[in-house]
Structure formats: structure tokens, C-alpha cells
């Protein structure tokens, strides 16, 4: 046996039905989006900086901006940036130098030879460069 709805329940059901019909008429879809906490915090900061009070409004404006852009601009915006170039720290450089010197001691004969002077008397490298090669 079905329970009889109260006036408030009928009003709520009617309201939901009207909203659903309105959404269908305007072609509005509900989309659940999972977002990382850091991204959400960044979006909140952008909302405050640009005067938005609702995330939905900001996202709709971003969507319209993206769709209005040329295909080339859309492709540029969608490019995934590579990780920053590998950086060799001074500590890593010292470790490499130490390991290289140890390897040269284990296997003599593959050392870098100091360049010979050029025929016209100029040096190929300066003293600082020679220190590196020793």
C-alpha cells in the first residue's frame, strides 16, 4: 500500500519535477566531477580573485572560453607540459666526479688526454680547463 504524501512532500516532488523538465528543455546535464583537493583550493583562490561566488559559473565561463578558441589555441591549452628538465645538483656532480675518478683508477687507459698545443702556438684550453681534465 502506497503512503499518502503530505503537502510539503507533494510540493518538493513537484518542484523537482519542474526543475527536471526545465533542465531537459534547456539541454542541461548534471555532471559529477571529482577534483583533487589542491585543484579545488586553487579554483577557490581564482574565484575570490576574479569575483566569482559559484564554482559552476567559473567552470561554465572556462568551458565557453575554451570552446570559443581556435583549434590551434585549444591544442596549445591541452598540451601536457613536460616535467622540468633534469637538473644536476652540486652534490650529484661531486658524486659523479668521485665515481668517475674511481673508475679511471680501476681501468687505466681510458683517461682523457690533455690536448697538445696548436701548431701556431695558441693553447686549446686554459688552465682552469686543464684542472678539470686532471
| Cα 105 to Cα 109: distance, rounded to the nearest angstrom | 9
Tens-level pLDDT at each residue, the chain (134 residues): 457 778 888 888 899 999 999 988 988 888 888 888 888 899 999 999 999 999 889 999 999 999 999 999 999 888 877 666 677 889 988 999 999 888 888 877 766 677 777 777 555 555 555 455 45
Q: Report, in angstroms and rounded to the nearest whole number, the Rg of the chain calculated over CA atoms.
A: 34
Q: Give burial (CB, 10 Å; 0-12/13-18/19+) of 3.
A: exposed
Q: What is the pLDDT at residue 128?
A: 52
Give the DSSP H/E element, type plus range, for residue 64: helix 55-68
Whole-prediction pTM value?
Answer: 0.44
CB 52 within 8 A of CB 58: yes
Amino acid at each position: 500500500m502506497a503512503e499518502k504524501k503530505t503537502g510539503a512532500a507533494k510540493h518538493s516532488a513537484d518542484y523537482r519535477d519542474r526543475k527536471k523538465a526545465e533542465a531537459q528543455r534547456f539541454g542541461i546535464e548534471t555532471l559529477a566531477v571529482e577534483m583533487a583537493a589542491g585543484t579545488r583550493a586553487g579554483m577557490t583562490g581564482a574565484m575570490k580573485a576574479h569575483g566569482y561566488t559559484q564554482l559552476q559559473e567559473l567552470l561554465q565561463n572556462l568551458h565557453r572560453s575554451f570552446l570559443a578558441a581556435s583549434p590551434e589555441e585549444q591544442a596549445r591549452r591541452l598540451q601536457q607540459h613536460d616535467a622540468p628538465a633534469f637538473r644536476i645538483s652540486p652534490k650529484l656532480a661531486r658524486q659523479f666526479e668521485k665515481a668517475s675518478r674511481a673508475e679511471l683508477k680501476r681501468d687505466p687507459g681510458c683517461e682523457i688526454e690533455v690536448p697538445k698545443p696548436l701548431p701556431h702556438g695558441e693553447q686549446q684550453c686554459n688552465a682552469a680547463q686543464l684542472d678539470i681534465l686532471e
